[in-house]
C-alpha cells in the first residue's frame, strides 16, 4: 500500500516538473516526502537498500508522470489552462500544513522572516522576468549538442529539487522546454510504433539530458541536506517563502490564460482548487518526514 502511495506522490512530482511555474520540489514538500527524498538521494551508497526501497516507487511515479502523462498535461494546459493551473495551486496550498509543522512551536527570529521574504521575492521576480520563452533550441544529434543538453539537464534538475523554483520555467528561459516536451512525446509514439529510428533519435536527446539530471539532483541534494542539518529553521522558513510565492508565480506566468476567466471556468477552477488541496492533504497528511527538526537554532 505504501508503494502505491509513493508511486502516486512521485507522479504528482513528475507532472509538476513539466508544467512551467510549478515546482517539483514544492510538490515533494506538499506530499510530505521532501526531507526523505533528499536524504535517500545523498545516502544512496551508505544506506543503499533503504534508499532504493523509497526512491524506486517515487522514481517510477515520476517517470509515469513525466512520460506517461506528458501528452495529457500538454492537452490540459492547452485546453483547460485555468483549471490546470488552479489544480496545482491547490496541490501547493494543501501541502502548507505539512511544512508549517516543521517550524510550528519554535520561536520566530528575524533571520527566519528575512529568509522567508527574500525567497518569496526571488520566485516572484523570476516569474516577472520570464515574460517570454527563449528561442527554440536545436536538439539535432551531435557532440556539442549532447554536451549542451547534458548541461541543460543539470540546471533543470537542480532547480527542480529546490522548492518554489520551477525546473520547467528554467527550461523555458533557456529555450529547451518545448523541444524537450516534443522529444518526449515523439519518443513515446516511437516506442508504441516500434519505430527504431525514432527511438534512437529520442535517446540521442533524452539520454544526455537524463544523465545531466541525475548529476544535478545529486549535487543540489547534498547541498540542501547540509543546510537543513546546520540551519533547519532558516531553511524551512525559506521554503515557506518559496511555497507561498509559488501560486503568485503561477498566476503571473499565466496571466493570458487567467484573462479568459468566466463563470464556468471560475466554478470549475474552484472545484479544481479544492480537488488539489484534498489530494495534497490525503497524500501528504500521513507522511512522517525523516528526522525531526533540531530545536537548537
In the chain, where the domains are located: 2-284
- Rounded to an integer, the average pLDDT of 140-146 is 75
Q: What is the pLDDT of residue 269?
A: 92
Q: What are phi and psi of 45, to 5 degrees?
A: -85, -45
Predicted confidence (pLDDT) per residue in 57-74, tens digit: 998 998 888 777 767 777
Tell me if residue 33 falls in helix, strand or coil.
coil
- Nearest Cα to 240, choosing from 159, 163, 296? 163
| Alpha helix positions (H), the chain | 2-17, 24-30, 34-42, 48-63, 70-79, 81-94, 96-100, 110-129, 143-161, 167-174, 177-193, 196-230, 232-253, 255-258, 263-284
| Total-model pTM | 0.66
Predicted confidence (pLDDT) per residue in 233-282, tens digit: 898 898 888 778 888 887 887 788 888 788 998 999 999 999 988 877 77
% residues pLDDT > 70 (the chain):
84
DSSP string, 150-196: HHHHHHHHHHHHSTT--HHHHHHHHT-HHHHHHHHHHHHHHHHHT-H
Amino acid at each position: 500500500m505504501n508503494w502505491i502511495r509513493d508511486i502516486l506522490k512521485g507522479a504528482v512530482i513528475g507532472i509538476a516538473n513539466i508544467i512551467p511555474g510549478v515546482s517539483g520540489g514544492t510538490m515533494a514538500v506538499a506530499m510530505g516526502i521532501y526531507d526523505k527524498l533528499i536524504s535517500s538521494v545523498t545516502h544512496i551508497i551508505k544506506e543503499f537498500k533503504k534508499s532504493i526501497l523509497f526512491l524506486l516507487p517515487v522514481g517510477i511515479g515520476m517517470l509515469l508522470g513525466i512520460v506517461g502523462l506528458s501528452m495529457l498535461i500538454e492537452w490540459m494546459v492547452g485546453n483547460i489552462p485555468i483549471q490546470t493551473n488552479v489544480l496545482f495551486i491547490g496541490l501547493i496550498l494543501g501541502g502548507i500544513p505539512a511544512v508549517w509543522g516543521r517550524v510550528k512551536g519554535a520561536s520566530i527570529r528575524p533571520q527566519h522572516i528575512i529568509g522567508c521574504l527574500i525567497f518569496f521575492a526571488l520566485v516572484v521576480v523570476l516569474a516577472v522576468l520570464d515574460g517570454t520563452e527563449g528561442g527554440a533550441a536545436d536538439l539535432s544529434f551531435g557532440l556539442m549538442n549532447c554536451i549542451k543538453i547534458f548541461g541543460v539537464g543539470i540546471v533543470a534538475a537542480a532547480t527542480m529539487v529546490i522548492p518554489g523554483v520551477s525546473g520547467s520555467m528554467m527550461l523555458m528561459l533557456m529555450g529547451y522546454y518545448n523541444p524537450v516536451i516534443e522529444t518526449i512525446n515523439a519518443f513515446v509514439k516511437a516506442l508504441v510504433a516500434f519505430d527504431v529510428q525514432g527511438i534512437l533519435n529520442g535517446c540521442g536527446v533524452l539520454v544526455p539530458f537524463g544523465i545531466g539530471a541525475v548529476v544535478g539532483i545529486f549535487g543540489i541534494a547534498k547541498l540542501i541536506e547540509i543546510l537543513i542539518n546546520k540551519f533547519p529553521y532558516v531553511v524551512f522558513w525559506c521554503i515557506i517563502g518559496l511555497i507561498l510565492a509559488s501560486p503568485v508565480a503561477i498566476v503571473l506566468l499565466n496571466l493570458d490564460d487567467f484573462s479568459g476567466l468566466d463563470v464556468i471556468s471560475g466554478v470549475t477552477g474552484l472545484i479544481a482548487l479544492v480537488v488539489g488541496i484534498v489530494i495534497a492533504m490525503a497524500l501528504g497528511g500521513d507522511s512522517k518526514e525523516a528526522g525531526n527538526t533540531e530545536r537548537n537554532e
